[in-house]
Amino acid sequence: MRPVAVIGIGKTAFGAFPDRDLRSLAVEAGQKCMQDANVSPSKVEAFYLGNFAGPSFVGQNHLAPYIAGAMGITGVPATRFEAACASSGSALFHAVSAVGAGLYDVVLVGGVEKMTSQPTPKVTEILAGAGDMCGEGRAGATFPALFAMIARRHMYQYGTTREQMAAVAVKNHLNGAKNPQAHMRKVITIEQALAGKPIADPLTVYDCSLISDGAAAVLIAPLERASEFTGKPVKILGIAQTSDQVALDQKDDITTFRAVRTAADKAYKMAGVSPNEIQFAEVHDCFTIAEIIATEDLGFVKKGEGGPYVQQGCTALNGPRPVNTSGGLKAKGHPVGATGVGQICDVVMQIRGEAGERQIARHSLGLAQNLGGSGATAVVTILGVA
């Protein structure tokens, strides 16, 4: 496979935007991205779109050509990818595979979700559809409930505490407050996080990511052509997508995501790097426990040590390995279909040195981890200076 680079990025702010529709968000991100790389719509050879539930949230199907057409991209393949909250990570994986194989040169990869036009119980029901609706879903499981059960088991097996989970929320809110595009720019305390409204015990509202609207896009091209478009190409050193059982009760051990471990193994191998070389990461903190488990599954710490790792400040902005410098899904927001590509944009911003107030000192090798459902899809991407 020939090497592939990110040549452009574009993102909307994440938040609740009652006046914006799904298409206008996706078009804004795509156009910003094409401007960033100085690429006109006529040069785009394929459009890959990640979107979880546009048909349920806003009643719109056939999203990829719908959005591509509005950006002036026609006459090329335009396809939507659905893999729950890893939808745009999956779109990226398949786009990189196609460019790597020589099928196309310039490909636009987008992700979008418009969630806030529905009341929260309806959003909760739509999100539950990423689980097994003949099993856990029928019994009344919500996504917070699935991750609450994961948290309970992690606490039971490894002594993980609610304070350690709250430390994830506090850190990510602190980072999000420095991100002008974050949904929630509000610093919180451990006490506030612990005393939040209960959602699914032991998770409070501060353990849960946000229901957001937003879109993100990246342009990719073969590394050998990257300099035609940008002075700051970022190389995709490794990328892998893997799968696992959808239902939580079909997994042997719910304190780890096997799909994340296998995707990480493949991505590390492809990149030729080891976990301890990764300088910073954007991980899928859909719930605080998910970030703790991600740091374990990605090999940053041993199994069961993710709680102390965050509590000791190791993943803080000024720590040895910053995690979720953007604010993560927790504070930046989680428009589910946009999240995977949004993470790539955040890693690329750090590598280019364009992360402003949240710019970190060591930023030449970063990782993004995108999770679908309660671990049925995982995408791990490793990016570095070209």
272 binds other proteins per the rule CB under 8 A: no
42 binds other proteins per the rule CB under 8 A: no
Structure tokens at 337: 């279909």
The residues, any chain, with a CB within 8 Å of residue 298's CB and separated by 6 or more, are 260, 264, 275, 278, 281, 283, 367, 369, 380
DSSP annotation string for 252-265? S-TTS-HHHHHHHH
Of 148, 168, 323, 344, the one binding other proteins (CB under 8 A) is 148
Count CA atoms closer than 13 A to 7's CA, side-chain side. Answer: 26
Kindly give the pairing relationship between strand 213-222 and strand 107-114. antiparallel
| Catalytic machinery residues | 85, 334
139 binds other proteins per the rule CB under 8 A: yes
Rg, the chain, Cα only:
19
250 binds other proteins per the rule CB under 8 A: yes
Stretch that binds other proteins, among 30-38, 144-152, 281-289, 351-359 (CB under 8 A): 144-152
Write phi, then psi, for 203 (nearest 5 degrees).
-85, 135
186 binds other proteins per the rule CB under 8 A: no
Helix (H, G, I), strand (E, B) or coil at 11: strand
| CA pair distance 379, 186, nearest whole angstrom | 29
33 binds other proteins per the rule CB under 8 A: no
Stretch that binds other proteins, among 98-106, 124-132, 165-173, 321-329 (CB under 8 A): 124-132
* Nearer residue to other proteins within complex by CB, 85 or 220: 85
H or E segment to which residue 383 belongs: strand 377-385
Of 26, 92, 150, 240, the one binding other proteins (CB under 8 A) is 150
DSSP 42: G
Of 145, 188, 215, 331, the one binding other proteins (CB under 8 A) is 145
213 binds other proteins per the rule CB under 8 A: no
Write phi, then psi, for 189 (nearest 5 degrees).
-105, 165
* Nearer residue to other proteins within complex by CB, 120 or 189: 120
Helix (H, G, I), strand (E, B) or coil at 379: strand
Binding string to other proteins for residues 71 to 110, with x set by CB under 8 A, is what? ----------------------------------------
198 binds other proteins per the rule CB under 8 A: yes
Cβ 162 to other proteins, closest distance in Å?
13
Dump strand ranges (E) for the chain.
4-11, 46-50, 78-81, 107-114, 198-200, 203-204, 213-222, 234-243, 280-282, 365-372, 377-385
Contact between 83 and 46 (Cβ < 8 Å): no
292 binds other proteins per the rule CB under 8 A: no
124 binds other proteins per the rule CB under 8 A: yes
* Nearer residue to other proteins within complex by CB, 202 or 308: 202
The residues, any chain, with a CB within 8 Å of residue 251's CB and separated by 6 or more, are 244, 245, 258, 375
Stretch that binds other proteins, among 6-14, 32-40, 146-154, 337-345 (CB under 8 A): 146-154
199 binds other proteins per the rule CB under 8 A: yes
Which spans of this chain sit near other proteins (rule: CB under 8 A)? Answer: 120-122, 124-125, 128, 135-136, 138-142, 144-145, 148-150, 152-153, 156, 197-203, 247-250, 254
